[in-house]
Chain A
Amino acid sequence: GAGVSQSPSNKVTEKGKDVELRCDPISGHTALYWYRQRLGQGLEFLIYFQGNSAPDKSGLPSDRFSAERTGESVSTLTIQRTQQEDSAVYLCASSSRGLAEKTQYFGPGTRLLVL
């Protein structure tokens, strides 16, 4: 596609439920990033995928959060047993390589509201 796409665009769930967020990166981009943006806060790094290397999960806030990526394509971020503090916009980005020189292209985000 022309850009990074994410689905769903909005998600409302009840506390305790599991949710899955999807990211489709730009075709050919080997690097993929997940961020979280809570209201009034800056973007927080969650996880980074680069090609077939082991992902950098150092930003995941708890073991309720996990992410997968199949090859160099779609990624899924899963939040288990959601809590109200998980409410945020979840942004995905991709770049042609995992280098700082390479601009990260962001998707529109998924707005998650946990009631």
Chain B
Amino acid sequence: KQEVTQIPAALSVPEGENLVLNCSFTDSAIYNLQWFRQDPGKGLTSLLLIQSSQREQTSGRLNASLDKSSGRSTLYIAASQPGDSATYLCAVSFDRGSTLWRLYFGRGTQLTVWP
């Protein structure tokens, strides 16, 4: 069974800190992994997508890494800002059969960055 787990469930940090969000998955046969951001009352916004052949992706202050063998991904946020406060979701596409489009989501990490 494909499962995606995120820890911690919630995180509260002061502005300026560097932080790491964790995502783990039970099946190492992944196709790709995405990190999304969800703001209250809004839909999800894709932040980074890592293909199975890649080890990391970077966008601005965000860096996502992928270690298939250990079934883990981390999202690193540098110099956090209050505007980063949101729920961060990890979603995995598993390379099993013809359903590569199907995403399996973790429950998310609710991040609060206070001034």
The answer to whether B102 and A48 touch across the interface, beta carbons within 8 angstroms, is: yes
Contacts of A103 in B (CB 8 A): 34, 46, 49
Whether a CB of chain A sits under 8 angstroms from the CB of B83 is no
Q: B51: which A residues are within 8 A, CB to CB?
A: 101
By beta carbon, the residue of chain B nearest A31 is B101
Interface: B73 (CB within 8 A): no
Q: Which of A3, A50, A98 has the most CB of B within 10 A?
A: A98
A40-62 to B contact mask, C-beta < 8 Å, 1/0: 11111100101000001000000
A6 CB to nearest chain B CB (Å)? 8
Assign chain A's interface to a size class.
Answer: 20 to 34
Residues of chain B within 8 A of A41, CB atoms compared: 107
| Segment at the interface with B among A13-21, A68-76, A105-113 | A105-113
Given the complex, which residues of A lie within 8 Å of B105, measured CB to CB? 35, 42-44
In this complex, what residue of A is CB-closest to B45? Answer: A106
Contact of B46 among A3, A56, A104 (CB under 8 A): A104
Cβ of B44 within 8 Å of any chain A Cβ, yes or no, is yes
15 contacts between A and B (CB under 8 A): A35-B105, A42-B4, A43-B103, A45-B103, A50-B101, A56-B99, A56-B102, A98-B101, A99-B101, A100-B101, A100-B103, A105-B43, A105-B46, A106-B44, A108-B41
**Chain A contact residues, CB within 8 Å of chain B:** 3-4, 31, 33, 35, 40-45, 48, 50, 56, 91, 93, 95, 98-101, 103-109
